[in-house]
Structure 1
Amino acid sequence: MGLPAWRIRNARPGSDSTRRTETAEGSSESGVRGAMQSTVSFVLDGELQTIDFRTSAHLNPTTTVLNYLRGLAGHKGVKEGCAEGDCGACTLVLGELGAAGRISYRSVDSCLVFLPMLHGKQLITVENLRGKSDQLHPVQQAMVETNGSQCGYCTPGFIMSLFSLYKNSNKPSREAIDDCLTGNLCRCTGYKPIIEAAAKSCVDGGIDHFTADEHRISKLLKTISQESVRIETERQRYLRPASLAEALSIKHQRSGAIVICGATDIALRVTKGHELLGEIIDLSDLPELKTISESASSISIGAGASFSEIMPRIEGVFPALHAMLAVFGSQQIRNLATLGGNLGTASPIGDTLPVLIAYGAKVVLESLNGLREIPIDQFIVGYRKTMRKEDEIITSVIIPKLTPAAIVKSYKVSKRKDLDISTVSG
């Protein structure tokens, strides 16, 4: 069976917000502000990489980062074990430029990350850890010295999780190490030597060759255009708006498009269901959706804020929600998953729902027609069905603060404590 002839079409920038651009099907799209580009760029192996799907016939907008790397020479360390974010064999680390110009590092399951979601980021693989000196990274050296690898299939994933811990925690506690390794499964060595490797290596405050190279990598990341991205193939369209206003305009025109904001649930339709997602609107990097703000009476959480970003902001205010998020998936999952996505999919295994109902939270929906606030207990109307209209986007969740006399507790019953869906939660 031959490969399809992929094609990409640039959307020309309009002179104003009402400029009309003809799509591949001959219909028109209006109200989309700014220019659109048809390529995605990121840093890999310390160098800027740009993918143009017009010359990459084997790639499409829902190619996972895992499959992309497995087809790339010299990057076979990443492995597929489960293709659903459970085993951690495909763990990689993403570097992202923060507001202060520093790069932050987070581990992710690459089987759940679509290739265009790398745009503007640094992708770090196990092959990159040795650096130009060809010396083992401290976490690699510690794994060797503690005999932390046996068959070796899971080892690259463990190494990348430990690398993320190394960059984010100095002299971590045993609890922090255990939490870091929750998303990585090992069937032969056992965890004792791996835990020893973590404790032995994470003592240098995250200093390594990535620290020395951070300024250069930051400059590369700053050169990547933050314009909207539009990728079209014969059977798929991927849209990455650069602002919330643009996202609302696109959703108004393309109400049937699938919205992703982390993609940890939607990605399974590709990796496990082998489904072709025809049209995708990716909101994963919209700054307006990542805002977390606090008032005297409530906390507003942007729909695009990851669980890892949410947890430190709510620990002392909403302890029951924090406790539920602490056993939600793994670090790799929490670094991608969002509250908006967890609510928007209306999944029967959405562990945040019962505790949000108990707190009296509200979902904020926006469209070109305005804004609506709906209580969580009214928002879900059935199996994978919500009150959201086709042209609406979930933009935030508002959680009112409790009165001094109120108490909320959360409970989760599952076959195992971590990285497992609930049998019962509340």
Structure 2
Amino acid sequence: NSCIRFLPTLDGKELVTVESLQAPDGMLHPVQRALVDCHGSQCGFCTPGFVMSLFALYLQRAAPTREEVLTALSGNLCRCTGYRPIIDAGECMGNYPEPARWSRADAQSATRTDQLRALRRTQSHDALRLPGFHTPRNLDELAAALAAAPGSLLLAGGTDVGLWATKQLRELPPIIYLGNVAELQQIRRSAVGLWIGAAVTLTAAWSALLEDYPALAEQARRFASPPVCNSGTLCGNIANGSPIGDSMPALIALGAELELRHGARQRRIPLERLYLGYQRKDLAPGELIVGVLVPPPRAAQWFASYKLAKRIDQDISAVCGAFAVEVSDGHIVSARLAYGGMAAIPARAPAAERAMTGQPWSEATIASATAA
């Protein structure tokens, strides 16, 4: 994932590479030693990526299970098809003595934490500014900067925008980075629902959504690899507006709303109203998405979301469908059915919804809605 990370977004952070793990005396880290001992490196081209994915898992789990290893490596590809020894290394890396450098304790040590805190930019006047790159510190500054330069490109996780630079070789406009705006990194719960800010990562957003909607577990697991989810944002996926984006059908079915801002003006719209056509959105120049509000679960609501793709992992949807149906006394009170991959935009199925509403909750009703 580092190849699509814009360098200024690392300001105030520590960059850890495969070379960082080796001790000053030359001793390999347990992750590296396990890969060597298990013969997990073949041509070597993919090895640094596997090392760092396993290293992230090493810091989280003292004795990871095979399933945890597979999940951690889901975004790494080995063209030599040498996965078995790599997986073996992931399962046994916890058996080695903890190193003095980059152990789980060292990674969270007070010394390291204090050093990182000392790098933090805390004042608005101290915000990072480079030619063509601006990092606002708060929401007011962000809104003002975008209103003043509406042709700027908003950057969050960069998992899509980074490919514009590395694969499509685009010349990008001036960039305004959201990642240091504290208000956009918040997740809040209230009586009206779950609010997820525009800079909240996919990892954190899916975790919060699963608390309310555990039916999304498979969708969350298959959405993307850990490195992508740790960098990309939920609102970035929404703003991208791809007709096969995996998050939008579920959020539309649940009745999610977007909070938008242009300068000092704010407005709120249902998520489905954002999309006017292929890559056309109801966003004025200089307007940005502040966050998404997802209503709380209702007692009588049945909800499910499904993704069909050529592969189980690391594949875009062929079709994604999400269904929120409220049933009372055996009859359907309301139905919200949303699809991705069926049109130029993520959209609801209004004819099917009308065919279901007021009818018995039965297979016959579903068949009738399918025909509609």
TM bucket (normalised to shorter chain) is 0.7 to 0.9
Match of 2:33 in 1: 141
**Mean Cα displacement is larger for which, 408-417 or 215-224?**
215-224
2:76 is the alignment partner of 1:184: yes
Question: 1:359 & 1:184 partners in 2: Cα distance?
Answer: 33
Residues 52-91 of structure 1 deviation map (CA, whole Å, 9 limit, x = unaligned) = xxxxxxxxxxxxxxxxxxxxxxxxxxxxxxxxxxxxxxxx
> Is this contact kept in 2: 1:243–1:288, CA < 8 A?
yes
Question: 2:186 & 2:33 partners in 1: Cα distance?
Answer: 39
For 2:245, what is the secondary structure of its paired residue? coil
2:188 is the alignment partner of 1:296: no
Task: Normalising by structure 1, report the TM-score.
Answer: 0.70
> Is this contact kept in 2: 1:170–1:206, CA < 8 A?
no
Question: 1:204 & 1:321 partners in 2: Cα distance?
Answer: 36
Question: 1:140 & 1:246 partners in 2: Cα distance?
Answer: 44
Task: Normalising by structure 2, report the TM-score.
Answer: 0.80
Question: 2:315 & 2:134 partners in 1: Cα distance?
Answer: 32
Alignment of 1:12-411 (within 5 A): 109-202=1-94, 208-210=100-102, 211-212=105-106, 214-226=109-121, 227-232=126-131, 237-411=132-306
The one-letter code of the counterpart of 1:249 is: A
The one-letter code of the counterpart of 1:164 is: A
> Is this contact kept in 1: 2:13–2:116, CA < 8 A?
yes
> Is this contact kept in 2: 1:169–1:206, CA < 8 A?
no
Aligned residues: 314
What percent identity do the matched residue pairs reach?
Answer: 38
Question: 2:214 & 2:120 partners in 1: Cα distance?
Answer: 39
Alignment CA distance shift 1:408-1:264 (3 Å): same
CA shift at 1:125, angstroms?
Answer: 0.6
CA shift at 1:383, angstroms?
Answer: 1.3
Residues 287-321 of structure 1 deviation map (CA, whole Å, 9 limit, x = unaligned) = 21111111234111111110111222222312244
> Is this contact kept in 2: 1:129–1:136, CA < 8 A?
yes
Question: 2:171 & 2:277 partners in 1: Cα distance?
Answer: 25
Question: 2:184 & 2:306 partners in 1: Cα distance?
Answer: 28
Alignment CA distance shift 1:306-1:200 (3 Å): same
For 1:175, what is the secondary structure of its paired residue? helix
Please state which structure has a larger fraction of its residues in helix: 2
Over aligned residue pairs, what C-alpha RMSD do you find? 1.8
Alignment CA distance shift 1:322-1:372 (3 Å): farther
Unaligned stretches of 5+ residues in structure 1 = 1-108
Residues 332-374 of structure 1 deviation map (CA, whole Å, 9 limit, x = unaligned) = 1101111111111212231111111111101111222322111
Question: 2:268 & 2:63 partners in 1: Cα distance?
Answer: 44
Alignment CA distance shift 1:351-1:167 (3 Å): same
Question: 2:221 & 2:283 partners in 1: Cα distance?
Answer: 28
For 1:167, what is the secondary structure of its paired residue? helix
Alignment CA distance shift 1:198-1:255 (3 Å): same
Unaligned stretches of 5+ residues in structure 2 = 322-372
Question: 1:340 & 1:156 partners in 2: Cα distance?
Answer: 30
Alignment CA distance shift 1:421-1:228 (3 Å): same
What stretches of structure 1 move > 4 A for 4+ residues in a row? Answer: 203-208
For 1:195, what is the secondary structure of its paired residue? helix
The structure with the larger Rg is 2
